[in-house]
Amino acid sequence: MELRYLEYFEAVSRLKSYTKASKELFVSQPTITIAIQKLEEEFGVKLIIRNNKELFLTKEGKLFLEYVRQILGIVQKTVDVMEDIKPNSKETLRLAFPVNLCSWLWAFIFNDFLINYPDVEIDIYDVGNSIVMELLKENKVELGFGMFNEYNKINIDLEVKKIFDGEMSLLMSSDSELNDLKTIPISALKGKKIIMYPKDTTYVEKIIKEEFDKKGIIPDIMYVKEQVTIYELVAQGYGISIISELGLDYIRNNPSLTSKPFEDPINFSVGILWGKNRYLSNTSRKFISFLDKIY
């Protein structure tokens, strides 16, 4: 049994596709197929069943996957530790955070952290909240930032260190009729076009759908790929959006945009996340300690 066979099996099981696994791992599909066949021959059990276009694990395959993930996790942890203690090793901060936190976090990283640690290189993903969780689960990043509240908890496989609490606001054009209101009731958004980041990826979408559902309103949502597109469309009066207070600095110097709090506050928390029992590099530990000093 070779270690790469376990990697192939884990990828196929997770992606539920030989084709997707071959693309992710940069090996041919027949190579993966043969490797899994060899595993099945070695153990004398069927691990994966393909039925038409569907792929699923057998009872034995599910049990095997549990141990495979433990083995691969230990191997990755060993590699991380040895790389971290290697003399003159390059310090890289591998981090993911939701687009809603971009303006705050980019400023924090460049204006605060990198000034104190100029030798650290950064490898950063600014994506949706759910994709942050996926990147952490797949060990593609060491640290992530997440938005959550008491009703939307963080994945139990992740450690969470809460940093601060915040409140959502409505983002609209400066000439919107909603500007006459001191606070915005959710009912006032009925029939309004809400512009958001890609579907099913952000905390904001999740929480606003819940708030609309409480009022029996079906939201009219238009999805776009870039956060900057949201600001541009809202400024031109094509719709409204929801913004965290962390993004307010971005709009303060834009006379075409304004924001108002909701009548019933929509609260959230921001926390830094990492995998449970995952070894954290010296760079990641520095980053967490630096956060502690400031927040």
Of 80 and 191, the structure prediction assigns the larger pLDDT to 191
In sequence order, which ranges of 90-202 are alpha helices (DSSP H)? 102-108, 114-116, 129-137
Q: Can you give the pLDDT at residue 89?
A: 65
Distance between CA atoms of residues 248 and 127, nearest Å:
19
Q: Same domain, yes or no, for 143 and 210? A: yes
118-127 pLDDT tens trace? 888 888 888 8
> DSSP label at 262?
B
3-state secondary structure 14-30: HHCCHHHHHHHHCCCHH
Do β-strands 158-173 and 241-244 pair in parallel, antiparallel, or remain unpaired? Answer: antiparallel
Q: Are 40 and 47 in contact (CB under 8 A)?
A: yes
Q: What is the CATH number of the domain that holds 196?
A: 3.40.190.290
Residue ending a domain, among 54, 85, 116, is 85
Q: Same domain, yes or no, for 142 and 30? A: no
3-state secondary structure of 80: helix
Distances (CA, A) of 96 to 113, 146, 165: 16, 9, 19
Of 117 and 183, the structure prediction assigns the larger pLDDT to 183
Q: Six-digit token pair at 50?
A: 């393909």
The mean pLDDT value for 107-131 works out to 86
The mean pLDDT value for 253-281 works out to 88
Q: Can you give the pLDDT at residue 280?
A: 84
Q: Are 236 and 172 in contact (CB under 8 A)?
A: no
Q: What is the CATH number of the domain that holds 74?
A: 1.10.10.10
Nearest-CA neighbor of 132 among 122, 141, 119? Answer: 141
Q: Can you give the pLDDT at residue 80?
A: 73
| pLDDT surpasses 70 at 263 | yes
Per DSSP, the residues of 219-259 read: -EEEE-S-HHHHHHHHHTTS-BEEEEGGGHHHHTT-TTEEE
Q: What percent of the chain has pLDDT over 90?
A: 36
Q: Same domain, yes or no, for 129 and 156? A: yes
Q: Same domain, yes or no, for 115 and 70? A: no
The mean pLDDT value for 166-188 works out to 92
Please give the backbone phi and psi of residue 171, each rounded to the nearest 5 degrees, phi first: -100, 130
The mean pLDDT value for 62-67 works out to 93
Confidence of residue 150 (pLDDT cuts 50, 70, 90): low
75-102 pLDDT tens trace? 887 877 777 677 666 788 889 988 778 7
Distance between CA atoms of residues 99 and 231, nearest Å:
12
Q: Same domain, yes or no, for 192 and 295? A: yes
Question: What mean pLDDT is reported for the chain?
Answer: 86
Of 246 and 39, the structure prediction assigns the larger pLDDT to 39
Question: 177 CB contacts (<8 Å, ≥6 apart)?
Answer: none
| pLDDT surpasses 80 at 153 | no
Distance between CA atoms of residues 131 and 34, nearest Å:
31
In sequence order, which ranges of 125-256 are alpha helices (DSSP H)? 129-137, 203-214, 227-235, 248-251
| pLDDT surpasses 60 at 152 | no
Round to the nearest angstrom and report the end-to-end CA distance of the chain: 48
Q: Are 48 and 55 in contact (CB under 8 A)?
A: yes
Q: Can you give the residue range of the structural domain that contains 15?
A: 3-85
Q: Can you give the pLDDT at residue 188?
A: 92
Q: Are 153 and 250 in contact (CB under 8 A)?
A: no
Residue ending a domain, among 57, 85, 113, is 85
Q: Same domain, yes or no, for 137 and 51? A: no
Q: Same domain, yes or no, for 74 and 180? A: no
The mean pLDDT value for 215-221 works out to 90
Q: Are 250 and 103 in contact (CB under 8 A)?
A: yes
Confidence of residue 45 (pLDDT cuts 50, 70, 90): very high
Q: Same domain, yes or no, for 101 and 233? A: yes
Of 153 and 105, the structure prediction assigns the larger pLDDT to 105
Q: Can you give the pLDDT at residue 172?
A: 94
